[in-house]
Amino acid sequence: MSTIHAAERVRSFGTSIFAEVSALATQHAAVNLGQGFPDFAGPEWLKVAAIEAIDADLNQYAPYLGLPRLREAIAATWQANGWRAVDPHHEVTITSGATEALFAATQALINPGDEVIIFEPFYDAYVPDVVMAGGVPRYVRMRPPHADGPQTWYVDPAELAAAFSPRTRLLFLNSPHNPTGKVFTRAELEQIAALCIEHEVLVIADEVYDQIIFEPCQHIPIATLPGMWERTLTINSTGKTFSLTGWKIGYVVAAPELSAALRAAHQWITFATATPLQAAVAVGLERAAGRGYYEQLRVEYVERREVLRQVLHDVGLPPLPVEGSYFMLADISQTPLGNDRDFCRWLTSEVGVAAIPLSAFYANDQDLPLLVRFCFAKKLETLRAAAGRLEVMNH
């Protein structure tokens, strides 16, 4: 059996720190602020819509492009947000979560040897997606906020410009950003767009947290900038928007030529996504604005963010600003453990609170800020339980 081994494209994918921390959290009954999903229920009215869809026998394969009603609801959402008119038939595709959308888009656009620009820290799926498509990641580091400079994470324009080469095919852009909570400004997006246009580079815009954004920040899809519609695939996740991550209903909005390329890959990856859940999400998008759902979502996340911010501040783990998403980074540079992975193992097993080391979001561990990521998509009682355990750090 020694001749049987994994293909080279996946051989470097070992067990992640995410799995390790989650296992430790279970073993030690820790309050898990590492896992990036809510521990509270999604909207009752949306779950009722799913039950009604099942009862109506919407239980067979959906069209591989997605239910027409859902694609129309997504196009209407783009129009209502003032972004642009979107053709639901040729420019919207439903996928099995944003995860499949990212994989399908990368498979559809990358040839072996093509270079892909990825900002560090990065969402963990980007690099494996590029590697499995035969692409070559090119990393550009975002810099953390500091007292004498920008108050948010930022990219050095010269470093970004230097990352482009004749082989650059694609750039991944995540805003609001996981794990930093950064929201890219219009000026930053314009810089990125100008380089992509100059070098004829496509963009995969991961915008799954577009509804979880905090004032005074504003979400601007890069696809709405001049010259970018024809070169951008915008990916979203209704699981994040409606706190129903297990439903795995994602989607891609893109110009017809890019949509056709995406669909060519998508049809052979998952083909179709759960029909009754698509129907329910269509109801969700149709009704959310009228019910004041998005405003309430942000109000509740502001409260959770502030609870966690105060908790971390009180125990000597200075929190960094959060402009969007449901993640917060904390500075551990003043703690005795000078390694973020060791700190997270200790925090989980000895204190009873799980977090994720920021180094998990980088290609290598050299010259990294000492930060760890906490998720505040949790019940207030979960955050307060974590606060009670973290108090031991003051003794």
pLDDT > 90? residue 116:
yes
Rounded to the nearest integer, the mean pLDDT of the chain is 95
Q: How far apart (Å, rounded) are the C-alpha atoms in residues 222 and 237?
A: 17
Whole-number pLDDT of residue 337: 82
**Where would I find the beta strands (DSSP E) of the chain?**
31-32, 92-96, 115-120, 136-143, 154-155, 168-174, 202-206, 232-237, 249-254, 327-331, 353-354, 356-357, 371-375
Cα angle: 84, vertex 89, 94; to 5 degrees: 90
Whole-number pLDDT of residue 13: 82
Whole-number pLDDT of residue 12: 80
Question: What region, left, alpha or beta, does residue 113 occupy, with left being phi > 0 and alpha being psi -120 to 50 degrees?
Answer: left
Whole-number pLDDT of residue 22: 87
DSSP string for 104-133: HHHHHHPPTT-EEEEEES--TTHHHHHHHT
Q: Which of 212, 262, 220, 190 is closest to 84 using CA atoms?
A: 220
Supply 219's token pair. Answer: 């979400």
pTM of this structure: 0.95
Mean pLDDT of 190-213: 98
Supply 252's token pair. Answer: 């891609």
Contact 186, 170 (CB under 8 A): no
Q: How far apart (Å, rounded) are the C-alpha atoms in residues 219 and 15?
A: 34
Mean pLDDT of 339-353: 94
pLDDT > 60? residue 1:
no
Q: How far apart (Å, rounded) are the C-alpha atoms in residues 223 and 231?
A: 8
Contact 250, 101 (CB under 8 A): yes
Query: Which has more confidence, 337 or 103?
Result: 103
Q: Which of 108, 111, 4, 20 is closest to 360 using CA atoms?
A: 20
Query: Which has more confidence, 150 or 36?
Result: 36
Matching residue, tokens 């819509």: 49
Contact 158, 183 (CB under 8 A): no
- pLDDT tens per residue, range 355-368: 999 999 999 988 99
Whole-number pLDDT of residue 2: 60
- pLDDT tens per residue, range 216-250: 999 999 999 999 999 999 999 999 999 999 999 99
| Residue 346 pLDDT class (50, 70, 90 cuts) | very high
pLDDT > 90? residue 20:
no
Percent of the chain with pLDDT over 70: 99
Mean pLDDT of 319-338: 94
Helices (H), 213-292: 238-241, 256-269, 275-287
| Residue 395 pLDDT class (50, 70, 90 cuts) | low
Contact 111, 89 (CB under 8 A): no
Q: Which of 34, 87, 21 is closest to 349 using CA atoms?
A: 21
- pLDDT tens per residue, range 146-175: 877 788 999 999 999 999 999 999 999 999
Whole-number pLDDT of residue 127: 96
Q: Which of 361, 360, 359, 363 is closest to 139 using CA atoms?
A: 363
Mean pLDDT of 66-77: 98
Q: How far apart (Å, rounded) are the C-alpha atoms in residues 246 and 346?
A: 30
